[in-house]
C-alpha cells in the first residue's frame, strides 16, 4: 500500500474528529414556553404541562415537561431553563470530547515519538496507540450511555413517582432542597445530529489509516498521484505534501496541542485556588444572605468541582467563548479584543524602534571591534540589560512628563475625554460627507494624542529590547566576519561596504530573524510592568487589575491568549529557522 494513503487517511480522520469537536456536542432547544393561565396557586386543575426537547447530546435527546401553576408565571424557572443546561450534560459532553482528543493525541503522538516522525513507524507504537484509542472510544461511549440513562431514570422517578404539589427536585443541581417547581421528562429519541456522523466517520477513517498495511520502502505520493492524475493542483499538492517541512510543521502543530492543554490545566488549577471571588463580590453588599452567596456561586459556575469547571471553560474556549467577566459582566472576548490592540501597538512600535536602532549599532560595533565604538556599544547594551524596566520608566517620567519638562504625558493611552477614534462612525461619516477639514481635524487630534501618549512607554520598552538585539547582532556579525567567504569576498576586491552589508549582514540576519518569535515571549511577558507604570490600558495592566479583583475568566483568558501567541511565535520561529537556514536537519 502506498505510504501517502495511510498518512492522508490518518490526517483526514484526525481533521474530521477535530471538526466534530467544534460542532456542539449538545444543543439546547426549547420548543415551547411554559403557559400562563389565570387560576389559583394550589389547584392541581390549573396545572399546565408543556413538553419540549431540552438538550441533545450527539444522537440522544432529553425531553422536558414544565409543570407550572397557571396563576404563577414561573419566571425564575423559565429563566433558569433558558440560561442554564443541566450541568451533568455539559460535563458529560465535555468529558466525551476530552477522552476522544486524548485518545487521538496518544495515537498520533505515539507514532511521532517512537518512530521519529512519519518517516517510519514501529509496530509497538501502532498497537499501543490503537489499543489506547479503542479503549478511549469504548469508555466514552459507555460513559455517555450510562450517564444519559442515569439521568433519565432519575428524572423519570421524579416526574412519575410523585404528585405535582409535593415534587421538589431541581433539575439544575439535583438538589432536593431547592423548591423550583419545574420538572423534566426524559426520553431517548432517535434523531441523530450531523456531528455524530462526522464523529463516527472520522473514527473509521483514522482507524483504517492506522491498521493499513503499508510498504514503507516506497516513497510517498507516487501511486496516489498516478491515480489522481497530473494537473497543476495535484502536482502542487504533491510537492507541498512531499516537503519535509510540511511533515515538520505538522509534527510541531501536533505537539503544540497537548502543550497548550497542559499549560491551560496548570493555569486553571492555580487560578481556581487563588481565592474566593464570591466573598469579594459580596464584600460591599449590605445584608448579603447565605442564599445570595449560594446563588452567586452557582451563577458563576463555582459550585462545580475544579475539573468540571475546567472542562466547561476549555470546551467553551476552543469554541471561541471565554466567558464573562466577573466584575463587569462583559464577554471576555470583547474586553480582550479591545485591550490587545493597545498592547500590540505599544510593543510593535517599541520593537520596530529597537530593531531600527540596534541592528546598525550592532553591525558598527562589530566592524570596529575593540575600539571605543565597540566598547561603548557593549557598555550601553549591558547598562540597558541591567536596568530594571520600571526604574528607567520612572526616570523618563520624572524628566519628561509633568514632573519635569512636561513634554509628554505619563499615564493612560488617551487624554480625558478621549478624542473621537479614527474609525468611529462619526469620523468616517465626516469623511464620506466630504467635510475633509473637519475630518482631518478630528483624525489628526486623535493621532497626535495617541503618539504623544505612546512616546515614553515606547522608549522604555525599546531601551529594554535594544540591549538584547545589539548584543545578538554584534556577536553573530563577529562570527560571520571571521568566516572564509568574507575573506574570499575581500580577496576578490569587493568594497568593504558590499562585503559588510551584502555578504556579512545577510548571514547575520539568520539568528536575528529567528529571534523575532522568541521576542514575543519576553515582550508580552514583560508587558505588565511597563503598562502598570504608565497605567496603559492594555492586556498586562488589566491583568494585574483582574488579579486584584479575582476576575477568573479575565485572568484565564489573558493567559490563554498570551500562551497561544507565544506558542505561535515559537512555531513561526522554528519554521523560519528551518526555511532560512538550509543546513538545519529536520
Partner 1 sequence: MQKTAKQKGSFSRRLDSYMKEKRLPKSMTWAGVLAVGWKHFYFNFIIEFLVALIGLFLVLVFTNNQAIYWNILYAVVFSVVWIGLRIGWNYIRKTATKQEIIIAKDGTLRERSPSQWTLVWRRYKKNRIAVLSGAIVILVTIIAIAYPILMPFSPVGTTPLFDAWNGGGSLSNPNLKYPGGTDVLGRDEFSRILAGSEVSLTVGLFSSFLSAIIGVALGALAGYYRGWTEEIIMRLTDMFLALPFLVIAILAVSFIRRGRLAFLRQIPQSVVIIIVLGVFGWAGLCRLVNANTKQIYNLDYVNAARVLGASNSRIILVHILPNILAPIIVIVTLGIAGGILAEAGLTFLGLGSPTTISWGQMVNEAQTNLKTNPELALLPGFAIFFVVLAFNLLGDALRDALDPRLRE
The residues that touch partner 1, with contacts defined as CB under 8 A, are 113, 255, 258-259, 262-263, 267, 270-271, 273-276, 369, 382-383, 385-391, 394-395, 397-398, 403, 475, 478, 521-522, 524-526, 528-529, 532, 540, 543-544, 547, 555, 558-559, 562-563, 566-567, 570
Q: How far is CA 105 from CA 132, 203, 266, 336, in A?
A: 10, 13, 19, 30
Q: How far is the CB of 162 from partner 1 (least distance, A)?
A: 39
**Residue 259: CB minimum distance to partner 1, A:** 5
Of 144, 137, 128, the C-alpha closest to 103 is: 137
Nearer to partner 1, 54 or 350 (CB): 350
With a CB cutoff of 8 Å and minimum separation 6, the contacts of 448 are none
Specify the residue, 26 or 465, whose C-beta has the smaller distance to partner 1.
465
246, 291 in Cβ contact below 8 A? no
Least Cβ distance, residue 193 to partner 1 (angstroms):
35
CB of 287: closest distance to partner 1 in angstroms?
25
Residue 250 vs 427, nearer CB to partner 1: 250
Integer-rounded Cα radius of gyration of the chain: 31
Considering beta carbons, is residue 66 or 562 the nearer one to partner 1? 562
Residue with cell 558590499: 498
> Rounded distance, CA 557 to CA 524, Å?
14
Looking at 27-122, list the stretches that DSSP marks H as alpha helix, in order from N- to C-terminal side: 75-83, 87-115
d(CA 162, CA 246): 63
List Cβ neighbours of 136 (8 Å cut-off, separation of 6 or more).
Answer: 99, 100, 102, 103, 106
- By the 10 Å C-beta count (0-12 exposed, 13-18 middle, 19+ buried), 526 is classed as middle
Question: At closest approach, how far in Å is the CB of 113 from partner 1?
Answer: 5
**Beta carbons of 507 and 478 less than 8 angstroms apart:** no
Of residues 139 and 478, the one with the C-beta less far from partner 1:
478
The nearer residue to partner 1, 223 or 374, going by C-beta atoms, is 374
Measured from the CB atom, the residue of 267 and 316 that comes closer to partner 1 is: 267
Torsion of CA 152, 157, 163, 164, to 10 degrees: -20
* Residue 407 C-beta: closest distance to partner 1, Å: 16
- If the CB atoms of residues 102 and 174 are measured against partner 1, the closer one turns out to be 102
The residues that bridge with 53 in the sheet, in sequence order, are: 63
Distance between CA 547 and CA 563 in Å, rounded? 17
The per-residue DSSP string of 438-475 comes to: HHHHHHHHHHHHHHHHHHHHHHHHHHHHHHHHHHHHHH
| Residue with smaller CB distance to partner 1, 274 or 441 | 274
Least separation, in Å, of the C-beta of 276 and partner 1?
7
Minimum distance, C-beta of residue 243 to partner 1, in the bound complex (Å) = 23
- What is the smallest separation between the CB atom of 121 and partner 1, expressed in angstroms? 15
Amino acid at each position: 500500500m502506498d505510504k501517502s494513503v495511510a498518512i492522508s487517511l490518518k490526517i483526514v480522520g484526525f481533521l474530521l474528529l477535530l471538526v466534530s469537536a467544534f460542532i456542539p456536542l449538545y444543543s439546547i432547544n426549547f420548543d415551547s414556553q411554559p403557559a400562563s393561565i389565570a387560576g389559583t396557586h394550589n389547584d392541581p386543575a390549573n396545572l399546565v404541562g408543556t413538553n419540549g426537547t431540552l438538550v441533545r447530546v450527539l444522537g440522544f435527546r432529553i425531553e422536558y415537561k414544565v409543570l407550572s401553576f397557571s396563576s404563577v408565571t414561573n419566571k425564575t424557572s423559565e429563566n433558569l431553563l433558558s440560561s442554564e443546561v443541566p450541568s451533568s450534560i455539559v460535563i458529560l459532553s465535555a468529558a466525551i470530547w476530552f477522552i476522544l482528543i486524548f485518545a487521538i493525541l496518544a495515537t498520533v503522538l505515539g507514532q511521532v515519538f517512537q518512530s521519529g516522525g512519519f518517516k517510519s513507524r514501529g509496530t509497538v507504537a501502532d498497537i499501543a496507540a490503537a489499543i489506547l484509542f479503542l479503549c478511549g472510544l469504548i469508555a466514552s461511549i459507555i460513559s455517555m450511555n450510562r450517564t444519559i440513562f442515569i439521568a433519565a431514570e432519575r428524572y423519570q422517578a421524579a416526574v412519575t413517582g410523585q404528585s405535582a404539589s409535593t415534587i421538589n427536585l431541581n433539575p439544575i443541581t439535583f438538589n432536593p432542597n431547592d423548591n423550583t417547581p419545574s420538572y423534566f421528562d426524559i426520553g431517548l429519541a432517535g434523531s441523530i445530529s450531523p456531528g455524530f456522523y462526522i464523529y463516527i466517520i472520522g473514527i473509521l477513517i483514522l482507524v483504517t489509516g492506522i491498521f493499513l498495511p503499508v510498504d514503507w520502502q516506497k516513497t510517498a505520493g507516487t501511486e496516489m498521484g498516478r491515480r489522481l492524475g497530473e494537473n497543476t493542483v495535484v502536482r502542487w499538492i504533491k510537492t507541498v505534501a512531499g516537503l519535509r517541512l510540511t511533515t515538520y510543521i505538522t509534527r510541531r502543530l501536533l505537539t503544540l496541542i497537548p502543550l497548550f492543554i497542559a499549560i491551560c490545566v496548570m493555569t486553571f488549577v492555580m487560578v481556581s485556588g487563588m481565592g474566593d471571588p464570591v466573598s469579594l463580590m459580596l464584600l460591599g453588599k449590605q445584608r448579603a444572605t447565605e442564599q445570595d452567596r449560594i446563588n452567586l456561586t452557582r451563577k458563576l459556575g463555582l459550585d462545580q468541582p475544579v475539573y468540571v469547571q475546567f472542562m466547561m471553560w476549555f470546551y467553551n474556549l476552543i469554541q471561541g467563548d471565554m466567558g464573562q467577566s466577573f466584575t463587569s459582566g462583559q464577554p471576555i472576548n470583547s474586553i480582550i479584543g479591545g485591550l490587545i490592540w493597545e498592547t500590540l501597538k505599544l510593543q510593535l512600535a517599541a520593537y520596530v524602534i529597537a530593531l531600527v536602532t540596534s541592528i546598525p549599532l550592532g553591525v558598527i560595533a562589530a566592524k570596529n571591534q575593540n575600539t571605543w565604538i565597540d566598547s561603548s556599544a557593549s557598555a550601553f547594551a549591558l547598562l540597558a540589560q541591567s536596568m530594571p524596566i520600571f526604574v528607567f520608566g520612572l526616570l523618563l517620567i520624572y524628566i519628561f512628563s509633568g514632573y519635569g519638562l512636561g513634554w509628554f504625558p505619563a499615564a493612560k493611552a488617551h487624554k480625558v475625554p478621549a478624542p473621537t477614534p479614527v474609525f468611529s462612525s462619526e469620523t468616517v461619516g465626516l469623511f464620506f460627507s466630504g467635510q475633509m477639514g473637519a475630518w482631518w481635524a478630528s483624525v489628526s487630534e486623535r493621532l497626535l494624542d495617541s503618539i504623544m501618549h505612546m512616546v515614553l512607554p515606547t522608549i522604555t520598552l525599546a531601551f529594554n529590547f535594544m540591549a538584547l538585539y545589539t548584543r545578538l547582532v554584534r556577536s553573530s556579525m563577529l562570527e560571520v566576519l571571521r568566516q572564509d567567504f568574507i575573506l574570499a569576498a575581500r580577496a576578490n576586491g569587493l568594497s568593504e561596504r558590499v562585503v559588510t552589508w551584502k555578504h556579512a549582514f545577510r548571514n547575520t540576519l539568520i539568528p536575528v530573524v529567528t529571534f523575532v518569535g522568541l521576542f514575543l515571549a519576553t515582550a508580552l511577558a514583560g508587558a505588565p510592568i511597563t503598562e502598570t507604570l504608565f497605567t496603559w490600558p492594555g492586556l498586562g495592566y488589566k491583568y494585574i487589575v483582574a488579579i486584584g479583583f479575582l476576575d477568573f475568566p479575565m485572568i484565564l483568558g489573558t493567559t490563554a491568549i498570551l500562551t497561544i501567541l507565544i506558542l505561535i511565535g515559537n512555531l513561526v520561529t522554528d519554521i523560519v529557522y528551518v526555511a532560512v537556514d538550509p543546513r538545519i536537519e529536520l
